[in-house]
Amino acid sequence: MELQQGIFILMGLAMIIAAGLAMHVKDLISSIIAVGVVSLFASLLYLLMQAPDVAMTEAAIGAGLSTLIFLYALHKTKDVEEEND
Amino acid sequence: MIKRIIPAILVISIFFMLLKVMTNITPKYDLTGVSKTYAEQGASDLGAMNLVTAIVVTYRGLDTLGEVAVLFMAGTGIALLLRRKKKKKGSVAKKREASEILQTGSKLLVPIIMMFGAYIFINGHLSPGGGFQGGAAIASAVMLMFLADNSFKINHKVFGLIESLSGMFYVIIGILGLVMIGADHFLDSRLLPLGEFGKILSAGTIPIIYTLVGLKVGTELASIIDNMKGDLE
């Protein structure tokens, strides 16, 4: 039980770090990949918390398809964020 | 300066709100109310080994129909907004070919991923997963084909036909429940015999409905990816 809670906390921290990276990285492709990493850890957490149905959806849609859709959307715009403040 | 202060205040206030929620929470270990009824009667009522599927397809069947409709609206909206434009003559945009590893790997993996997607939704009533998950797996196989081959195109007529027919049959099965069992039995899965618990042909119409949902979701997500890709024709 202790070990499992430790794993949960570690994964939650990894999700927070990846989400922070997604906001702070200047390169938008890295940012999209970081968002995908958040989804991947979320799906692993769902699996560990005995929700395999939700984990499958999160892995396929959150980590897979939406990352690619973001990449396609990025491809149609510019790939560097512009500073305007 | 003020641009930084306001978000900081917001974040801190959300933190205190969540802290209040977190300290007052009492975890529930026993099932109560409707979840108890589902857990106790789901298996004997509907004959589905995966209780989540029994709830999603039968007890909450109308919600699933709504979800499928939402996905359909999203796909239609994307197709409408990102419609392909005809390529002007003379502007031949050359794209970089996919790498050898990606091309060979996709040839190996695409059939396996497709099979796995079909396995997920056909076994929706026995193992975790179901129509949405299987459909997403199939769409990711299509995505891999797009990535590996620049000139790959999906056949829109076939995809549209599969999508609309599976959606139509889904609703027809729902209405058959109304006609054959009685009022307030829309999308009831007990149209067909429940069969032997744990076998692939069991749980009434749940495998059929999930196969239809899987086909619909798979083709829809593949069309969304195709429209997002938005190559000039």
* Residue B172 included in any domain: yes
Q: Note the pLDDT tens digit of each residue in B6-29.
A: 989 999 999 999 998 888 888 777
Nearest chain B residue to A50, by CA: B128
In A, which residues are within 8 Å of B126 by CB distance? none
Q: How confident is the model at residue A81 (pLDDT cuts 50, 70, 90)?
A: low
* Residue B78 included in any domain: yes
In B, which residues are within 8 Å of A5 by CB distance? none
> For chain B, what is the domain count?
1
**Among A65, A20, A10, A67, which Cα is nearest to A41's?**
A10
Mean pLDDT, rounded, for B148-166:
84
Q: Whole-angstrom Cα distance, residue A49 to residue A8?
A: 9
Cα of B128 to nearest chain A Cα, Å? 5
Work out the widest C-alpha separation in chain B, in whole angstroms.
Answer: 69
Domain of B130, in residue numbers: 51-83+116-233
**Among B92, B81, B109, B31, which Cα is nearest to B224's?**
B81
Using the Cβ of A26 and the Cβ atoms of chain B, whether some distance falls under 8 Å is answered with no
Residue B93 has pLDDT above 60, yes or no: no
Q: Note the pLDDT tens digit of each residue in B186-213.
A: 777 777 777 777 677 777 778 888 888 8
Cα of B174 to nearest chain A Cα, Å? 23
pLDDT of residue B92: 52
Q: Whole-angstrom Cα distance, residue A65 to residue B224?
A: 10
Q: How confident is the model at residue A38 (pLDDT cuts 50, 70, 90)?
A: very high
Structure pTM?
0.79
Residue scoring higher pLDDT (B172 or B192): B172
Mean pLDDT, rounded, for B103-113:
90
* Residue B95 included in any domain: no
* Residue B17 included in any domain: no
Mean pLDDT, rounded, for B39-47:
75
ipTM field = 0.76
Residue A1 has pLDDT above 70, yes or no: no
Nearest chain B residue to A54, by CA: B129
